[in-house]
Structure 1
Amino acid sequence: MDANIYQHFRSDERPFIDMVQDWIEQVNMQYAPVLTEFLDPRQAFILETLVRQETELSFRFFGGYEAAERRRCLIFPDYYEPTQEDFEIELFNVHYPKKFTVLSHGKILGSLIGTGIKREFLGDIISDGENWQVFVAKEISHYIQLQVTKIGNVKVRLEEQSYVDILTPKDGWTEENTTVSSLRLDNVIASIFNISRQRAKQLIETGKVKVNWTPTQRPDFVLDLLDIVSIRGFGRLQIQGLEGTTKKGKARLNLGVLRK
């Protein structure tokens, strides 16, 4: 791999770049497919960028359904024909007493992570407003069924579900276009959610903001293409397009925004 590839990405993304390179080398050496764990959109972008440099390799993403946010990737020799089964993803329904409690994405994810499962083994968590489903890597499906018996103080049961019964997610994402003076995390949050820069900085420094599912307390963190930002109490945003700059030097952004 060209060492200069690092300059196109953030310094903290180097370990992931090295991991992708190891996967590529493994496919080239063994001439057999390699399946990744679940990747967030930014990681998928990096992987695609690197694999496209390998003329004899192909790749395909799948997260259990067409609009999946978190997806596994199969990297394979160009002769190989992948199937859905190659992605080794299981779907579970979350059975819980609906009359007595309300679940949320955060509660479910927290309970799953609390069992010791790494985030990389978990795909999307989806809901139609009442029912909940979660996509998981097949290799931990048995473990998760045994370990997840409560979400908070509520007893639950995870039941394996066929792909034909996937819920239609109830989603409030909207597409927005805007301009910002910079791609600093605090600036983008303040601009999109119409709060002061100081308020945005406070949210970040008190641990209420995640970038690509990882907590960050750096207001000066510079966002990039396909980053997803979660702001507790406000919602989420994704940088879906960088559309150049205005005459005054402001960045034009295409965004997906989910407001609470």
Structure 2
Amino acid sequence: MSSIYQHFRPEEKEFIDDVLESIRQVEEKYAPKLMDFLDPREQQILSSLLGKNTEVNVSFFGGTVQAERKRALLYPPYFSVQQEDFQVALFEILYPQKFVVLNHRDVLGSLMGLGLRREKFGDILAKEGRFQFLVAAEMADFVKLNFRQVGKASVQLEEKKLEEAIESEESWQPVQTTVSSLRLDVMISAYAKLSRQKVQTMIKSGLVKVNWKVVDNPAFLCEEGDVLSVRGKGRCKLLSIDDKTKKEKWRITLGLLK
């Protein structure tokens, strides 16, 4: 097995073990196995672990055609996959839009505040003030019962059919700032408004991803277009690296999800 792990990062070992165990179960029981929501990096790992395995197939579905986070269904060749096999529920957040402004991070924070693991819910969809999110169907009753507040706003949930999902406009609110370097710890510090020391600890603990892949090196250099995420803090995108100030600082534009 060590030959498998050497192709991946050490912190991905636990996920790899889960995938290998799921594949083994499908092979032994000759029955489908549904996994949680996976980010694009995890989907890539799962597909590469399956490789040319002819005994187990995989399909991904996150509730919408353009979904980023998707549940994985592992199944034997005889099995005919249906959309309902992925067990995805869709909720819309009802709130007084005239008086309250919500954003992607607010919704993410409230979902995490329920004690849900990130793997149990999928994309957060936003368009013109409307917010929806996708969740594992087995958690739907719990979410419906407990999701009552986003930020300081009281909200209600309305369950929708998947066909009623809005076409999310991934809108990045540009924020211009200056940073001393393009290092990952500097970027996360500027975005999350945390001290460099705290950010470095988070990075070394595997809590930070660049383009959906864990990066544990605080000195990692970021490039234009990189998507940076911090567990529990949402994500941002390095929209542009502009120029240098007279004090040799970089002017950059970060994108925050609205």
Normalised to the residue count of structure 2, the TM-score between the two structures is 0.75
In the other structure, the counterpart of 1:235 is 236
Q: Distance in 2 between matches of 1:99 and 1:3?
A: 57
Paired residue total:
219
In the other structure, the counterpart of 2:124 is 125
In the other structure, the counterpart of 1:197 is 181
Q: CA deviation at 1:164?
A: 1.9
SS at match of 2:6: helix
Q: Distance in 1 between matches of 2:152 and 2:132?
A: 19
Name the amino acid aligned to 2:255.
R
Structure 1 segments unaligned to the other structure (5+ residues): 174-192, 239-256
Structure 2 segments unaligned to the other structure (5+ residues): 189-195, 240-252
In the other structure, the counterpart of 1:35 is 34
SS at match of 2:22: helix
Q: CA deviation at 1:19?
A: 0.6
Q: Distance in 1 between matches of 2:255 and 2:39?
A: 20
SS at match of 1:169: coil
Q: Which moved more, 1:207-216 or 1:30-39?
A: 207-216
Contact 1:211–1:230 (8 Å) recurs in 2:
yes
In the other structure, the counterpart of 1:259 is 255
From the superposition, tell whether residues 127 and 202 of structure 1 become closer, same or farther in structure 2 (CA, over 3 Å): same
Contact 1:96–1:157 (8 Å) recurs in 2:
yes
Name the amino acid aligned to 2:92.
N
Question: What aligned pairs does 1:67-106 form with structure 2 within 5 A after superposition?
Answer: 67-106=66-105
* 1:22 is aligned to 2:18: no
Name the amino acid aligned to 1:47.
L
Q: CA deviation at 1:84?
A: 0.3
In the other structure, the counterpart of 2:4 is 5
Q: Which moved more, 1:133-142 or 1:109-118?
A: 109-118
Identity of matched residues, %: 39
CA RMSD of aligned residues (A): 3.1
Contact 2:124–2:134 (8 Å) recurs in 1:
yes
Q: CA deviation at 1:94?
A: 0.4
Q: Distance in 2 between matches of 1:88 and 1:144?
A: 15
Name the amino acid aligned to 1:79.
Y
Deviations 1:211-250 (A, max 9, x none): 1679977414599xxx952378993269xxxxxxxxxxxx
Q: Distance in 1 between matches of 2:72 and 2:170?
A: 24
Q: CA deviation at 1:259?
A: 2.7
Q: CA deviation at 1:27?
A: 0.1
Q: CA deviation at 1:109?
A: 1.1
Contact 1:172–1:258 (8 Å) recurs in 2:
no
Contact 2:108–2:234 (8 Å) recurs in 1:
no
Contact 2:180–2:186 (8 Å) recurs in 1:
no
In the other structure, the counterpart of 1:136 is 135
Contact 2:37–2:121 (8 Å) recurs in 1:
yes
Q: Distance in 2 between matches of 1:86 and 1:258?
A: 38
Q: Distance in 1 between matches of 2:147 and 2:119?
A: 17
